[in-house]
Amino acid sequence: MSPSRGRPKTGSLPLVLAAVVVLALAVAPAIAGNFTVSLLNDIGIGALVALGLVLLTGVGGATSFGQAAFVGIAAYSTAWLTTAQGLSPWLGLLFALLLTGLSALGIGMLTLRLGGHFLPLSTIAWGLSIAMVFGNVDALGRHTGISNIPALTLGTWSLADRRSMYYLIWLLVGLAYLFSRNLLQSRPGRAIRSLRGGTTLLASVGADAYRVRLSLFVIAALLAGFAGWLYAHTNRFVSPSPFDVRASIEYLLMAVAGGLGHLVGALVGSALVLSLKNALQDVLPLLTQRAGQLEAVAFAALFILLLHFARGGLMGYLMRWWRRRRPAGPGSQETGAPTLDSLAEPVAPLAHRQLPPRGTPILSVSGAVKRFGGLVAVNDVSFDLAAGEILGLIGPNGAGKSTMFNLLTCTLPMTAGSVRFLGRDIVGMPQRQVARLGLARTFQHVKLRPRMSLLDNVALGAHARTGSGVIRAGLRMDRKEERQILQEAQRQLERIGLGDRAHELAGSLPLGTQRILEIARALAADPVLLVLDEPAAGLRRKEKMALAGLLRKLRDEGVTVLIVEHDMDFVMKLVDRLVVMNFGSKLVEGVPAAVRADARVQAAYLGSVA
């Protein structure tokens, strides 16, 4: 492996580009006309909402067609408080965020467990109903809305002028961007970026996918809340239509057009959509009297074209262009690449678990049964496991080995039987809780995040050993713990011989090596028991020997290993004991030599292609 495949060199162009953009934004109000400044204000407000959507939809994989409703909740709260109640707009902000956050929490709790298309559909439902409330409540001015909303003031300085608002808006956009970027490069951020990997993946590292998704949903809504508050005090007037489902789709269009995979995409997309909208509003009336309807058609067409030809949005294009120019450059990672300096400064390692003394019974499966409809995949299987041993589970294809693993890790509910782990009955316990007790696993069908680096994939494994939340991460108060996590991940990567490829993408590894990467992720959890489903499949001989060496070393350190493996040679040399399954039942249990000599085992294997 050439050393150049290690850390990518940080290119200088994006930094220069960022500096140019910031500078241009800083001087814009001084040179631009009123109209342009107003447009830039709208773009900033749109970018805040789109940023939430990049996080929620682009990173987290949950599509929302109702984001404008959150903008509306915040805009109407501050409008009502500052007009009808005569309160300060700053109290309005507080109240707006509170109400938006609570609404998101409530709506999220009701809808985020819905799978597949039901979540996006439900977002349309609440998007419609909230906009309907604005149009029908007398106190909110029904369809005429609320006018005479006061301008913001800072002490004696009034922000009534669009140029003063401009600075506040873009300051908030900048802060929101930094917060989001910090968040993605953190413990909660890795969980957020793994949401698309599914509930089971997150549960296997002790994380609760539902809670992660809920917090992401609230973050996105709060960003929309800031936008709504700014909207109300910039335009000084609110009415229902800017917060209806059509507006929500426009926000989604911004995120898609800019690039759902990039935080900057929110800004780019907002600029793109709002500039286009402005241009259309100039041109269309010249062509037709039904300009408003034509505009909707134009946007619909744009949406469809984007989905067909440019799913990565404008940022996707730019990144591909940049990567072609600099193959090893930054940008080879999706949103939230780890900070490269995190590994430089040494910190105290993460605390280790006290492993049970060698020989203590740690796992006891008795009478395990799993039925899938009429099929009995696991039929009355019992075995015990003592600390510090390597137990092999073998059997022909379809014997029920993976299902057995899913039962004892609580990934699947058991039909009957009991499993005790570290003295506790774990049947019915949530999978993530079992993981937190010290049971780490890998999957026969790998569950890695292909667009995340090796380092980040492994760092996800340390989720349950650490505790930084969204706020700490967003404000970068988690840096010490983050360094501990990344250094732990790097250590585990070195253990499996991939230390010099930490910053490559997991998806670029051959499948066999991806399995080994899953072992590193499991080890990052500091497990008592390591459960490995066919880890050697797809490995070359030398790699298998290295893996066997690693597993023996782990055993010597006191880690217990339970392993399913097809390569008999590999298994026989490695394990202390074997359990053989066939047709869902336990056939034989014993030391390798005895199992190898057993006539029933030979018959089972001769009858299959194992």
How many whole angstroms separate alpha carbon 549 and alpha carbon 225?
54
How many whole angstroms separate alpha carbon 332 and alpha carbon 334?
7
Q: Should residue 103 be labelled a site residue for Mg ion when binding is judged by CB under 5 A?
A: no
Looking at the Cβ atoms of 159 and 578, the one nearer to ligand ADP is 578
- Comparing CA positions, the residue from 152, 110, 148 lying closest to residue 129 is 110
Q: Candidates 153, 444, 508, 585: give the one binding Mg ion (CB under 5 A).
A: 444
Q: What's the count of helices (H) and strands (E) in the chain, helices before strands?
A: 23, 12
Choose the one of Mg ion, ligand ADP, none that binds residue 416, judging by a C-beta under 5 to 8 angstroms depending on kind: none
Instruction: In angstroms, give the least distance from the CB of 401 to ligand ADP.
Output: 3
At 124, list the tokens.
């349309």
Q: Which residue is nearest to Mg ion (CB)?
A: 402
Choose the one of Mg ion, ligand ADP, none that binds residue 524, judging by a C-beta under 5 to 8 angstroms depending on kind: none
Instruction: In angstroms, give the least distance from the CB of 447 to ligand ADP.
Output: 15
At 343, list the tokens.
């590994």
Looking at the Cβ atoms of 305 and 375, the one nearer to ligand ADP is 375
- Comparing CA positions, the residue from 127, 19, 24, 146 lying closest to residue 85 is 146
CA angle 475, 477, 478 (to 5 degrees): 115
- Comparing CA positions, the residue from 445, 443, 446 lying closest to residue 431 is 443
Instruction: In angstroms, give the least distance from the CB of 384 to ligand ADP.
Output: 20
Choose the one of Mg ion, ligand ADP, none that binds residue 140, judging by a C-beta under 5 to 8 angstroms depending on kind: none
Instruction: In angstroms, give the least distance from the CB of 444 to Mg ion.
Output: 5
Instruction: In angstroms, give the least distance from the CB of 372 to ligand ADP.
Output: 3
Looking at the Cβ atoms of 213 and 515, the one nearer to ligand ADP is 515
Edge-first strand order for the sheet with 424-425 is 375-386, 361-372, 416-421, 424-425
Instruction: In angstroms, give the least distance from the CB of 544 to ligand ADP.
Output: 19
Looking at the Cβ atoms of 164 and 444, the one nearer to Mg ion is 444
Instruction: In angstroms, give the least distance from the CB of 417 to ligand ADP.
Output: 15
Choose the one of Mg ion, ligand ADP, none that binds residue 400, judging by a C-beta under 5 to 8 angstroms depending on kind: ligand ADP
Choose the one of Mg ion, ligand ADP, none that binds residue 375, judging by a C-beta under 5 to 8 angstroms depending on kind: ligand ADP
How many whole angstroms separate alpha carbon 103 and alpha carbon 74?
10
Looking at the Cβ atoms of 390 and 563, the one nearer to Mg ion is 563
**Which residues ranging from 374 to 413 are in contact with Mg ion (CB under 5 A)?**
402
Q: For residue 100, give the 3-state DSSP assignment.
A: helix
DSSP state of 558: T
Choose the one of ligand ADP, Mg ion, none that binds residue 515, judging by a C-beta under 5 to 8 angstroms depending on kind: none
**In contact, 362 and 393? CB cutoff 8 Å:** no
Q: Should residue 153 be labelled a site residue for Mg ion when binding is judged by CB under 5 A?
A: no
- Comparing CA positions, the residue from 91, 137, 103, 129 lying closest to residue 233 is 91
- Comparing CA positions, the residue from 392, 365, 387 lying closest to residue 378 is 365
Phi-psi region of 589 (alpha: psi -120 to 50; beta: other; left: phi over 0): beta
Q: Should residue 418 be labelled a site residue for Mg ion when binding is judged by CB under 5 A?
A: no
List b or e across 516-538, with b for residues whose CB sees 16 or more CB atoms inside 10 angstroms: bbbbbbbbbbbbbbbbbbbbbeb
Looking at the Cβ atoms of 239 and 402, the one nearer to Mg ion is 402
Looking at the Cβ atoms of 313 and 400, the one nearer to ligand ADP is 400
Choose the one of Mg ion, ligand ADP, none that binds residue 403, judging by a C-beta under 5 to 8 angstroms depending on kind: ligand ADP
Looking at the Cβ atoms of 116 and 346, the one nearer to ligand ADP is 116
Looking at the Cβ atoms of 244 and 534, the one nearer to ligand ADP is 534
Looking at the Cβ atoms of 35 and 372, the one nearer to ligand ADP is 372
Choose the one of ligand ADP, Mg ion, none that binds residue 333, judging by a C-beta under 5 to 8 angstroms depending on kind: none
Instruction: In angstroms, give the least distance from the CB of 402 to Mg ion.
Output: 3
Could you give the count of Cα atoms lying within 13 Å of 245 in the half-sphere of its Cβ?
13
The binding site for ligand ADP (CB under 6 A) comprises: 372, 375, 377, 395, 397-403
- Residue 148 CB: number of other CB atoms within 10 A? 9
Phi-psi region of 318 (alpha: psi -120 to 50; beta: other; left: phi over 0): alpha
Instruction: In angstroms, give the least distance from the CB of 586 to ligand ADP.
Output: 12
Looking at the Cβ atoms of 267 and 377, the one nearer to ligand ADP is 377
Q: Should residue 537 be labelled a site residue for Mg ion when binding is judged by CB under 5 A?
A: no
Beta carbons within 8 Å of 132's beta carbon, 6+ residues apart: none
Looking at the Cβ atoms of 403 and 409, the one nearer to ligand ADP is 403
Instruction: In angstroms, give the least distance from the CB of 369 to ligand ADP.
Output: 12
Instruction: In angstroms, give the least distance from the CB of 404 to ligand ADP.
Output: 7
Choose the one of Mg ion, ligand ADP, none that binds residue 395, judging by a C-beta under 5 to 8 angstroms depending on kind: ligand ADP
- Comparing CA positions, the residue from 457, 449, 458, 447 lying closest to residue 524 is 458
Three-class HEC string of 184-207: HCCHHHHHHHCHHHCHHHHHHCCC
Q: Should residue 513 be labelled a site residue for Mg ion when binding is judged by CB under 5 A?
A: no
Interface with Mg ion (CB under 5 A), residue total 2
Amino acid in position 367: G
CA angle 105, 267, 270 (to 5 degrees): 85
Instruction: In angstroms, give the least distance from the CB of 282 to ligand ADP.
Output: 57
Note the residues at the interface with Mg ion (CB under 5 A): 402, 444
